Structure 1
């Protein structure tokens, strides 16, 4: 293009921008967004600061969102200076918005969007946790990541509250059908589409790469976007994913039946701790070093019966009251632990033909005494709580009350999991709405999408074996070479659900971006432990099914002293 022609194009774009500013002033807070192409032309030359504040009060029309809404209201738009208190991400435009539900009685989806002045051309959607009823700000660092916040790295970051307020176990929004659909999957697409329109409006072009990252509920959301909205994402980090949402809730109910529906089934924390310590005695050294971590989980599994027998009460004391809570395991208490170990098998299928929830590594180094573990109270409260009655049972109880029976007074101890009667249809429908077990990832694979999943082998909330089972199902469908071409699974010994004797810190976002952008597939990574007692030690982060084994020499706190081996 000649200099004169280029100057003409520039002048035309400036004129278009001036016309857009006039239109903005005339329309004020009721402004409807122009189509993306027109926005790119009118906003391309404008600085970010000039575009940020005028967005407040604007409306995005419903036609820009692929799923049904009544449009999007921009609640606020403010430039945050680099010098603002607590801001370590440089200057950015912070936008908050509300995506209007179809039914006026359904809560809006609230979202936050952060647009950096120094944009790297990428966008990152962040998932929530639990029942996801708190807006994900996108301002902090990535989970498991020691580096700067993605916003500081130049990513446009965003997240939402999934369409309701409140993150407790008492998920009353389960009574509202549209809110359940939003929580299950729709909020992800609605927020994505709203934010994409805003990014194109402000920067004049769409992101070069769109990523998603989350853990637990956010991990399920990561698999959900791959399965439902494959065309929207280039890469996903989905950690500790609640893939089989209905399955884990129903297993929680089964666990409650064993703890509170069977006389003597309650296992006190002191006895749970003894079980944990016994597993360390038997299995800690199987990886070559006593470091408080059970790394060789498969090897430890071969000692399960020995561990149980060593803690079993004598036959003449098996049903008698115990002098000490941590004296030994009675048969009902062993049965409770085996419910958690063996998981749940159903005589009927849920969505994607799922009829079981795979059990936990109860006897392989999982500590069940924390706030996310088993019950601390031998009596079931009328409204169970995490600490008193255990995380899994409390969540399962509320799921039955608010989502399945839609009766807040329902007693889950009376629910027949194997013969749910007329509730079976609701169980199936919800498992399809809130779940991510579909193994048909052909569209995501074909477009070159990448996936990284990290999870603790000692996770007490989301069964690590359920995540492994999904990975194995992908291999059964596509073959190991195809799965290796787009997926990395890292199972971390000693790591639980946000806690544990080893809490990994590793830069997964850079690994994902390097894979997507440059084709450099991640292999063995190095994780730094951020658990307080052992902060700073490192271990190899091995690709499943490998685990780190001590070489027999060298500093046991250095990853270089370990190698990844097959079980």
Structure 2
């Protein structure tokens, strides 16, 4: 059934949109279709909710006027599970907004389950089908259903497809390039959590164990992030020749925090030996007993202003999301047999548990540096990461890029299809504003990606307005 769109916003559009309720989908069905009036910089569109069997909930937004003939798909964050969550705010990360406001038909999904929050992984408890959908299948199924709706509504297929995601959405972007190399002509991957077993399983367990005392207490508590950050900035701000409140490359920063050691009683203006020990472990990569590195790099210097949300928590409560991610992942997603709620990252075994997560890695991870199929298909990919990301640390991304360059035959070859931008002072996905005030709203990878696809001009920056 084709419901061909002809005119501008009118009552006829309501009829055409609602008629999508009758579209027959293979291995899926439409659950609702309604028109949404233009507002807040977005055009009027037909909102379609659909289900790809068995359990992937999808939302498509089809512009009523000015469709550019293309398709834009957005990823989701954390463990996902909340359909269209990113579009409830003003940001563009994992949102359909950037595509819709440029005239694309857009879609996203909940990745195959309903969650109470993006740190809730209880849905995966003894549920391999849901884990498969979250890992990779929801990417392809969202694309399939959305393209069917586009064809039904406009009477023709989308001529080009773009994927955008950050964090887990960035992982999805990498998985798309590897498992579906012909599906998207353009891909934007931000702060990609491309190695969930290594990052959320191994590294986050390392971070939690490092900050836990013998009695199970938290050693480095909220309130000293600024003290630490100021000392780091004094040591490393000028390493790039400019003192601008930014650390351009935290790999060069070897800040000595011994000046902060408490000489007497502990206070807000000094660090105890135990607290300094936590920071020392956080700065290094996780290792096993033989000293073998299990995941690249530690917590980057310059990320201290963002530690409350990710690592230490806030003085009034909340934050410390690393703990929630690590606990849920290990309990329900990491191992062949789910240990459940009794499991804790404090019990993670760095000798044996990384190997036990091999099946999970094959389901979830997108860190394979071989992009030959995507490159052969002519795909273009922008990868970006904030140097001050304290949860999905940036060292994995630069490590992956180096390996991808080698696999492609050199960086000059890889740069024909993959562009990497490392952005100083930026939090995970640009969520929080740091001392330099740079957030996701200061970034725009979409404009250079479009130019790359249309004219072949390689991206030079992802900073908005430049």
Q: TM-score, normalised by structure 1?
A: 0.72
Within the candidate set 128, 138, 163, 2:112 is matched to 163
The answer (yes or no) to whether the contact 1:128–1:214 under 8 Å persists in 2 is yes
Match of 1:418 in 2: 351
Match of 2:259 in 1: 310
1:158 Cα deviation from its structure 2 partner: 0.6
Residues 1:520 and 2:457 are matched in the alignment: yes
Match of 2:266 in 1: 323
CA-atom RMSD, angstroms?
Answer: 2.9
Q: 1:345 to 1:221 in 2, by over 3 A?
A: same
Match of 2:72 in 1: 124
Within the candidate set 308, 312, 323, 1:374 is matched to 312
1:243 Cα deviation from its structure 2 partner: 0.8
Match of 2:420 in 1: 489
Q: 1:292 to 1:133 in 2, by over 3 A?
A: same
Structure 2 portions without partners, runs of 5+: none
1:238 Cα deviation from its structure 2 partner: 0.6
Q: 1:527 to 1:507 in 2, by over 3 A?
A: closer
Distance 2:61 2:160 in 1: 16
The answer (yes or no) to whether the contact 2:302–2:425 under 8 Å persists in 1 is no
Q: Cα deviations across residues 465-501 of structure 1 (Å, max 9, x unaligned)? A: 1111111111121111111101111111111121223
Q: 1:226 to 1:346 in 2, by over 3 A?
A: farther
SS of the equivalent of 1:157 reads strand
Structure 1 portions without partners, runs of 5+: 1-19, 21-38, 62-70, 102-107, 349-353, 378-384, 529-539, 541-567
Distance 2:150 2:69 in 1: 10
Residues 1:274 and 2:219 are matched in the alignment: no
Distance 2:364 2:166 in 1: 15
- 1:176-325 paired onto structure 2 within 5 Å: 176-249=127-200, 250-262=202-214, 266-299=219-252, 301=253, 303-304=254-255, 307-313=256-262, 322-325=265-268
Which shows bigger deviation, 332-341 or 493-502? 332-341
Q: 1:141 to 1:234 in 2, by over 3 A?
A: farther
Q: 1:445 to 1:370 in 2, by over 3 A?
A: same
Q: Cα deviations across residues 2-61 of structure 1 (Å, max 9, x unaligned)? A: xxxxxxxxxxxxxxxxxx6xxxxxxxxxxxxxxxxxx5xxx5686683542112154412
Distance 1:186 1:283 in 2: 44
The answer (yes or no) to whether the contact 2:136–2:363 under 8 Å persists in 1 is yes
The answer (yes or no) to whether the contact 1:271–1:329 under 8 Å persists in 2 is no
Residues 1:76 and 2:18 are matched in the alignment: no
The answer (yes or no) to whether the contact 2:229–2:304 under 8 Å persists in 1 is yes
Q: 1:526 to 1:410 in 2, by over 3 A?
A: closer
Residues 1:110 and 2:110 are matched in the alignment: no
Q: Cα deviations across residues 517-536 of structure 1 (Å, max 9, x unaligned)? A: 211111145447xxxxxxxx
Match of 2:280 in 1: 338
1:211 Cα deviation from its structure 2 partner: 0.3
Residues 1:503 and 2:452 are matched in the alignment: no
Match of 2:49 in 1: 96
1:262 Cα deviation from its structure 2 partner: 4.1
SS of the equivalent of 1:60 reads coil
1:298 Cα deviation from its structure 2 partner: 4.2
SS of the equivalent of 2:297 reads coil
1:153 Cα deviation from its structure 2 partner: 1.7
Distance 2:31 2:49 in 1: 5
Q: 1:274 to 1:59 in 2, by over 3 A?
A: same
1:94 Cα deviation from its structure 2 partner: 1.4
Match of 2:393 in 1: 463
Match of 1:409 in 2: 342
Match of 1:54 in 2: 19
Q: Cα deviations across residues 221-246 of structure 1 (Å, max 9, x unaligned)? A: 11110011111110001101101111
The answer (yes or no) to whether the contact 2:380–2:417 under 8 Å persists in 1 is yes
Distance 1:365 1:438 in 2: 27
Distance 1:129 1:261 in 2: 31
Q: Cα deviations across residues 80-131 of structure 1 (Å, max 9, x unaligned)? A: 344xxx3532232211111221xxxxxx211110111321011100011111
The answer (yes or no) to whether the contact 2:182–2:374 under 8 Å persists in 1 is yes
| Greater radius of gyration (CA) | 1
Distance 2:328 2:448 in 1: 38
The answer (yes or no) to whether the contact 1:265–1:335 under 8 Å persists in 2 is no
The answer (yes or no) to whether the contact 2:421–2:462 under 8 Å persists in 1 is no
The answer (yes or no) to whether the contact 2:300–2:393 under 8 Å persists in 1 is no
Q: Cα deviations across residues 306-352 of structure 1 (Å, max 9, x unaligned)? A: x23323456xx7xxxx431442240x33332233221223589xxxx
The answer (yes or no) to whether the contact 2:199–2:295 under 8 Å persists in 1 is yes
Distance 2:207 2:235 in 1: 26
Count of aligned pairs between the two proteins: 442
Distance 2:98 2:120 in 1: 32
Q: Cα deviations across residues 189-245 of structure 1 (Å, max 9, x unaligned)? A: 111111111112222222111000011111111111001111111000110110111
The answer (yes or no) to whether the contact 1:366–1:459 under 8 Å persists in 2 is no
SS of the equivalent of 1:260 reads coil
Q: 1:79 to 1:525 in 2, by over 3 A?
A: closer
SS of the equivalent of 2:258 reads helix
SS of the equivalent of 1:367 reads helix
